[in-house]
Amino acid sequence: MNKKSKLITALVVLFLTGVITGITGTRIAYRNMLAKALEGTPILSERVEANLGKLTLPLEQDQKIAQILKEFREQTQDLREEFRPRLLTILTDTRQRILAELTPEQQVEFRKIVRDDLPLLQLMIEDR
């Protein structure tokens, strides 16, 4: 191979490596965000509290804001409790409909993919 084709090959490999890294990173980030959302970790509340911690607030303001954040956490927890069963129902229904379309061999492979690539989804479905 000449230098030009080696350079082109190297650039293509570098590009594909970047694409694969980006896709993998995005999948990992999405799974982590979904897991946090479903577990009830108050992501927004934590950030707001961290930023408010940088302010110098009088005691009265601090107490009022603490109460506001407490109400926010309660409301979002209620929303999660409403959302989670509905999401699980949709996920379970979708999984069952997909399995109904697959051959027994494909079902085995599908279950393996879900178990290996989507462990959070697998755990949520198995709980039902």
- For 38-84, the three-class secondary structure string (H helix, E strand, C coil) is HHCCCHHHHHHHHHHCCCCCCHHHHHHHHHHHHHHHHHHHHHHHHHH
Judged against a pLDDT cut of 50, whether residue 117 lies above it is answered with yes
Mean pLDDT, the chain, rounded, equals 78
Nearest to 86 by CA among 50, 45, 38: 38
Judged against a pLDDT cut of 50, whether residue 128 lies above it is answered with no
Kindly tell me the burial class for residue 121, based on how many C-beta atoms sit within 10 Å of its own C-beta (0-12, 13-18, 19 or more). Answer: middle
Model confidence over 87-115: pLDDT tens digits? 778 888 888 888 899 899 988 888 887 77
Q: Model confidence at 122, in pLDDT bands (50, 70, 90)? A: low
Which pTM was predicted? Answer: 0.43
